[in-house]
Amino acid sequence: MTPFSIADPLPEAGTTTLLEASAGTGKTWTIGALVTRYVAEGVVELGEMLVVTFGRAASQELRERVRAQLVEAERALAAVDEPDHPDHGRGAGASELLALLLDAEPAERAARRRRVRDALADFDAATIATTHQFCSLVLDSLGVAGDSDGQATLVENLDDLVAEVVDDLYLRAFAFAESPPSFTRAEAGQIARAVVADPQAHLEPADEPRDTPAGRKVSFARAVRAELEARKRRLGLLSYDDLLSQLADALGPDDSLARERMRARWQLVLVDEFQDTDPVQWQVLDRAFSGHATMVLIGDPKQAIYAFRGGDVVTYLQAAATARRHQTLATNWRSDAPLVGAVSRLLVGAELGDERIVVQPVEAHHQESRLSGAPQSAPLRLRMVSRETFGRGAGSTIAVGDARPHIATDLAHDVHNLLASGAAFDGKVLQPSDVAVICYRHADLAASQAALHAVGVPAVIAGGGSVFATPAADDWLRLLEGLEQPHRSPRVRAAALSPFLGFTALA
C-alpha cells in the first residue's frame, strides 16, 4: 500500500479514496490539509464540502483545526510575496502543504490567497458536523418530502422508555401465564437493551418456533422494537438512530429528492474516524454520494475490529471495496522512532480478523528518543509475574486475586523510580502528571492509585466512575435533603456541616 502525501494529485471527481491510518499519523491534520488545498486551488469551495466525524467534541476540534490550517495558509501566501520576506517567491522552509501552495506564479498565489481569505470570511457556513447533526440538517431541509416529524424532540437516550416497554410487555406475556416465565425480568432488560442499541441487527434464530425458549426471546425482542417505535411516535420522540434510519429511507429511491439535494450541495465529502461507521451510516453516505461526489474516508481498520467500542469490521470492508484509491498515512508524528520500531516488530504484518486488515509499517517523525535519564532505556517493556515470586513451582498457577495487588505494587515502584531518577522528556523533567496508567477495569485503576499514593506519587483517576459515588455527591445529597425537609433538625445539621455552608461540629 502506497503512503499518502498531501502533494499527491487530488482524487478524481466522483471517486472514493480510502486512507488507512494508525494512531498518531495525523488524521485530523490530513483532513484540514485537504480542505485547505481544495479551497486554495479553487477545485471546490468551502460551502460545497461536507466534513463528517463522530462525536460533538471531535467535530468541534476538527472545526478548529481546519480553520487554523486555513489561517496558516493565508498568512503564508500573504507573507511570501512581501519583498523583504526571506522566502520571497519560493516555498523554502515551509511545510509540505504550504510549500505546495506557494509553488506557483505570483498571479496564482494571489488567487489562492483570495480563495482562502474568502473561505475564512464565510467559515461559519462550512458543514463540519457529526453524522447525526448532518442527518438532522438534511432531514430538516426536506420538509414534507422526508419522513420526519419537525416537532419531534431529539433525545440522547431512551433508557427510561425502554424500561417502561420491557415492564409492560413482560407483564403482558407472563403475569397470568400458567407456566413459569421463559426468562427473567433481568434477561428481558438485557434483550431489550441489545436490540435497541443495534436496531439494524437481524434477530436470530428467526424461524425458531415461539413455544421454545429461544423463539420466545426472539418474539419478545421483536415486540420491544415494535412497541418502542409506536410509543416514540405517540410521544413525539426521536433518537439518533431514528435520524439515520429516516435519512437512509429517504435516500432509498433512485429519484429521491434527498439524493438530488445532497449531491447538489456537497461536491466533496471527508469522513474522519471512518472505522466507527455502522451499516446505516455507510448506507446514507453510499446512496447519497458514491459515484457522484468525491469521497475521502480516513480511518484505522485495526480499530474496526473492536465491536465493544462501536467498530463494524464488515461495514468497513464493504466500504473499502468501493474505493478506487487505497493509501496509508505512513508517518507517526507523536511517538519516537525506538517505540514505533518496537511496536512494529510485534505487530507489522499481523492479520487482525481478516486478511484485508493487516498492520502496515509506519515511520516515525521523531527519529531519536526524547526520554533521557530513565532507569530503563528500553522504549517498550513486557513485565511478567513469575511463579517464583509467590514461591510456586513449575506447572502451578498464580491466582488472579494474588497477582493483581502484586502488579499494582510493582507498577507503583516502577513509576516512583522513573520520577525519582530525574529523567526528562524533550528537555523537561518528568512530573507525575506526565505519566499515564491504563487498566482494563476500574477496580484495577483504584488499586494502582492506592499503590502510587503509598509510595508518595500523587495520582488521580480520570473518568470511569459514577458521579454519585463521589464525596461531592454526598454533600449535594445532604444539602438537598435539608432543603426538602427543613423542619427535621438532623437533616438541617447535616446540611450545615457540608461545604456549602461551612459550619463545623463546634460552631
CATH number of the domain to which 99 belongs: 3.40.50.300
Q: 124-138 in b/e burial notation, b at 16+ Cβ within 10 A?
A: eebbbbbbbbbbbeb
Q: Residue 441 pLDDT more than 50? A: yes
Confidence of residue 181 (pLDDT cuts 50, 70, 90): very high
Mean pLDDT of 398-417: 93
* Residues 392 and 423 occupy one common structural domain: yes
Mean pLDDT of 372-395: 88
Q: Which pLDDT score, from 0 to 100, does residue 88 have?
A: 42
* Residues 195 and 269 occupy one common structural domain: no
* Residues 211 and 252 occupy one common structural domain: no
Confidence of residue 410 (pLDDT cuts 50, 70, 90): very high
Please, which residues bridge with residue 363 across strands? Answer: 331
Q: Which pLDDT score, from 0 to 100, does residue 55 have?
A: 77
* CB-CB contact of 132 with 190 (8 Å): no
| Amino acid symbol at 141 | S
Of the candidate ranges 189-203, 213-227, 286-300, the one whose mean pLDDT is the lowest: 189-203
* Residues 51 and 127 occupy one common structural domain: yes
Q: Residue 193 pLDDT more than 70? A: yes
402 domain-assigned: yes
Q: Residue 51 pLDDT more than 70? A: yes
* Residues 233 and 270 occupy one common structural domain: no
Q: Which pLDDT score, from 0 to 100, does residue 419 have?
A: 96
| Per-chain mean pLDDT for the chain | 89
C-alpha to C-alpha distance for 352 and 346, rounded to whole angstroms: 13
Residue 110's contacts (CB-CB under 8 Å, 6 or more residues apart) are 77, 81
Mean pLDDT of 493-497: 91
Q: Residue 90 pLDDT more than 70? A: no
- Predicted TM-score (pTM) of this structure: 0.79
Phi, psi of 2 (to 5 degrees): -80, 145
474 domain-assigned: no
Of the candidate ranges 279-288, 297-306, 377-386, 444-453, the one whose mean pLDDT is the lowest: 297-306
- Which grid cell is 342? 518496537
Q: Mind listing the pLDDT tens digit for each residue in 236-280?
A: 998 888 888 889 999 999 889 899 999 999 999 999 988 888 888
Q: Which pLDDT score, from 0 to 100, does residue 105 have?
A: 94
461 domain-assigned: no
Mean pLDDT of 85-92: 43
Q: Which pLDDT score, from 0 to 100, does residue 93 have?
A: 40
Q: Residue 13 pLDDT more than 60? A: yes
Question: Residue 364 is part of which domain span?
Answer: 330-369
